[in-house]
Structure 1
Amino acid sequence: MAAHARFSPGPALGLAFGLAMLALAGCAADDDAGAPPRPAIVVQPQPAAAALQIFSGEVRAREEPALSFRVGGKIARRLVDAGSRVREGEVLAELDPRDLTLQADAVRAQLSAAEAELALARAERDRYAEMLERRLVSQSLFDAKQATFAAAQAQAESARAQLAVTQNQRDYAQLHAPAAGVIAARLAEAGQVVAAGQAVFTLAVDGAREVAISVPETQVGRAAVGTPVAVELWSRSGERWPGAVRELSPAADPQARTFAARVAFNAPASVPVDLGQSARVYLVEGDAARLSVPLSAVGGEAGEAFVWVLDPATARAIRRTVSVAAWGEREAVVSDGLFTSDWVVSGGVHLIAEGQRLQPIDRDNRPVKLTAAP
């Protein structure tokens, strides 16, 4: 009985199987290339909370002049209130002008009398000059008339200058806005008598905005002028913008024992920054090399933690192994493997493949423009 020949796959069948797999891979790659990129929320690593000192503050205008009248008097009208937006040169309040008008009238009368005295002294001088030429009077008598004329002339000039001062004071009865902005505080009311230089309004001038914070004694050494910080508005939690300490009081508040500081920051033009908004100021201290990312951004495989980082040039996902120093309630502290300039996918890490092209968006579903590290 003839034995049946046993079938074994030869080299030709193996080659055919390999070609089929390559064809399938090529089809998958074509499908991936033709499909639109999947949206993915991306974030940049932030300094870990353990390495941050957080200060609460309030958004203020960089320029906040106290507005006051240059003369004293009784406020007759108050034309704006706290929160009113004003234009440059707009009248904010007026004093009762009656006393100032009377003063101007009195000085005007003094000027008229001085000019009359000057005219008489001029005529006397001219007459005595003619008499001196005829030698009808002595030189000393003419010199006396000349001195009287000079005194009358000086008196008239003094009265003229005094009238200009009183006219200016009458104009000072109106308080004008030195620049466009918002009335931040009203410190006087109609009917109140104020002295010259007494603050009536505080104006928040349009322009740069800052965060006013109070630095405790134990931290004042770390908050020197120029120290870099990050600023976050309460209304836009999770968004931090770079800033720096611009001003630090040289003396502590006698009651709170804290040092007043001003922090300048750069928010995007599309972000409204209103006066009085609450804000947080993050001051990096301690181990600033540790960064934090959301827990949802960290995956694990074979005992190693990894994140997906987007290539800024191609928006393709790159898997990167990281060292996690601590696991927090909402974030993971990474001690190695990340930089602050990286863009990390914050969720769905198990659905991403190496080299997959993604569409980066933020938490508000807005496109993110990736920027490469400098």
Structure 2
Amino acid sequence: MRTSSALRPVDRFTRYLPLVGVAALLVACSRPEPAPEPVRSVKLMTVGVSPLEAQVEYAGEVRARIESRLGFRVAGKIIKRQAELGQRVKAGDVLAQLDPKDYQLATEAARAQVAAAATQRDLAAADFKRYAALKDQNFISGAELERRDTTLKAAQATLDQARAQLASQGNQAEYTRLVADASGVITGIDAEPGQVVSAGTPVVRIAQDGARDVVFVVPEDKVGLMAVGQEVMVRGWSGGDSIAGKVREVAASADASTRTFQVKVAIDRAESPALGATVYVTPKALSHAGTPAIKLPTSALRQEGQATAVWVYDPASSTVKSQVIQIATADGNEAVVASGLAPGMQVVSTGVHVLSPGQKVTVYQQKYAPAPASTAQQATNSVAPASSAGASAAAAAASASAK
């Protein structure tokens, strides 16, 4: 039996098979090199100073300077109400009426007491006259005449008291009619016929003719800037010319529920809007219109922790870096920057959330100018007839195939 020193091909493949497997395993475990990060294109804006445009406005309401809540001076049941909401009344017009029967009966009783007191006074006067004649004849003493004089004076006092009571009852009966004490407009109804009210309960509200006020409220952080005599501009909700007014009154305490302070502005009645109309009030003391400031669109802002930041472009290295800024307020849809930027800086205006510090970027350049509105309209008009013609042809082909 001979042994050959040469290896067969199958034995060679079997010999190197483990090495091939190890190489394949190493290739599979190795990570591919990451692709280079693409250079992003960004839109830039140059920081500049421009005047503020937004103004502080508050919603207000036109009211009468004097608005009274009228009620009966006596208690009773309302049997009639002549006043209606929005009705114009004059001084002396009857607004409502109570049932006067009880007060009429009390007046009759007081009148009877006056008659009785007058009779007693007349009797005492006649008695005193008779005793005075007897005293002249020395038939009675002076003390007896003095007693008759005292009786006469007491009867006279009782008569005066009864007359005063009659006058008071007459007034009570007259108070069953609620009368307007000034000309104006009925702005509210607080009681209806058939309702029993006590003395002083409000029945109607009347806005008296005369001066008009615009009433609005301001928050606590703005009330310190409001003072009596300041100029205010008022414009109607539905438009029209603005009206000049002056602050007449600033509330000394805040409203219990809203925690706001009421401000009243005096305006010219001849130019004032309708009573109860909604208006917009612009206090000049709170207006910053025209003040130069740095403004940025909200798309340029991003949140960096608890601070607000923007991306500032460095033209030397074509990279961006983060810059923390302070926002003072808003001017329309733009943010007003208090600090952190200077005029002339270039800031990324869009796509700020996909950038990182030191990232290389390119400046976006608009290739095509937007088409004018007239050109776009002509293109739309030319496409519309072509679409209509295509639709008609398609309908005709479908009808032919159906036949």
TM-score, L = length of structure 2: 0.58
Mapping 1:268-287, distance limit 5 Å: 269=270, 273-285=273-285
Q: Please state if 1:248 is matched with 2:238.
A: no
Q: Please state if 1:236 is matched with 2:239.
A: yes
Q: Percent identity?
A: 43
For this pair of structures, how many residues does the alignment match?
Answer: 247
- Secondary structure, counterpart of 1:158 in structure 2: helix
- 2 CA distance for matches of 1:181 and 1:48? 43
Shift of 1:180: 1.6
- 2:377 aligns with none
- 1 CA distance for matches of 2:53 and 2:172? 58
Mapping 1:12-31, distance limit 5 Å: none
Deviations 1:189-228 (A, max 9, x none): 1111112222111101122222111222111111222221
Mapping 1:221-370, distance limit 5 Å: 221-236=224-239, 239-266=241-268, 269=270, 273-285=273-285, 288=288, 290=290
- 1 CA distance for matches of 2:112 and 2:167? 13
Matching residue within 105, 108, 111 for 2:111: 108
Cα RMSD, aligned residues only: 2.4
- 1 CA distance for matches of 2:106 and 2:253? 45
Shift of 1:263: 1.1
- 2 CA distance for matches of 1:56 and 1:104? 53
Change (3 A) 1:209 1:48: farther
Change (3 A) 1:176 1:286: closer
- 1 CA distance for matches of 2:210 and 2:218? 25
Deviations 1:46-94 (A, max 9, x none): x9644x3311111111111111112111111011121111122111000
- Secondary structure, counterpart of 1:53 in structure 2: coil
- 2 CA distance for matches of 1:139 and 1:103? 42
- 1:9 aligns with none
| Gapped regions of structure 2 (runs ≥ 5) | 1-50, 293-329, 334-403
Shift of 1:291: 7.8
- 1:153 aligns with 156
Shift of 1:245: 1.2
- 1 CA distance for matches of 2:146 and 2:61? 73
- 2:65 aligns with 62
- 1 CA distance for matches of 2:286 and 2:132? 92
Shift of 1:328: 7.0
Deviations 1:22-59 (A, max 9, x none): xxxxxxxxxxxxxxxxxxxxxxxxx9644x33111111
Please say if residues 209 and 273 of structure 1, whose CA atoms lie closer than 8 Å, have aligned partners that are also in contact.
Answer: no
Q: Which has the larger radius of gyration?
A: 2
- 1:92 aligns with 95
Please say if residues 246 and 266 of structure 2, whose CA atoms lie closer than 8 Å, have aligned partners that are also in contact.
Answer: yes
TM-score, L = length of structure 1: 0.62
Change (3 A) 1:117 1:181: same
- 1:308 aligns with none
Q: Give 2:256's aligned amino acid.
A: P
Shift of 1:272: 6.5
Q: Which portions of structure 1, spanning 4 or more consecutive aligned residues, are displaced by more than 3 angstroms?
A: 47-50, 285-289, 326-329
Q: Give 1:152's aligned amino acid.
A: A
- 2 CA distance for matches of 1:48 and 1:168? 65
Q: Give 1:276's aligned amino acid.
A: G
Q: Please state if 1:123 is matched with 2:92.
A: no
| Gapped regions of structure 1 (runs ≥ 5) | 1-46, 293-325, 330-374
- 1 CA distance for matches of 2:199 and 2:92? 20
- 2 CA distance for matches of 1:111 and 1:120? 14
Structure holding more helix per residue? 2
Please say if residues 121 and 152 of structure 2, whose CA atoms lie closer than 8 Å, have aligned partners that are also in contact.
Answer: yes
- 2 CA distance for matches of 1:124 and 1:149? 8
Mapping 1:111-190, distance limit 5 Å: 111-190=114-193
Deviations 1:159-186 (A, max 9, x none): 1111111111111111111122110111
Shift of 1:104: 0.3
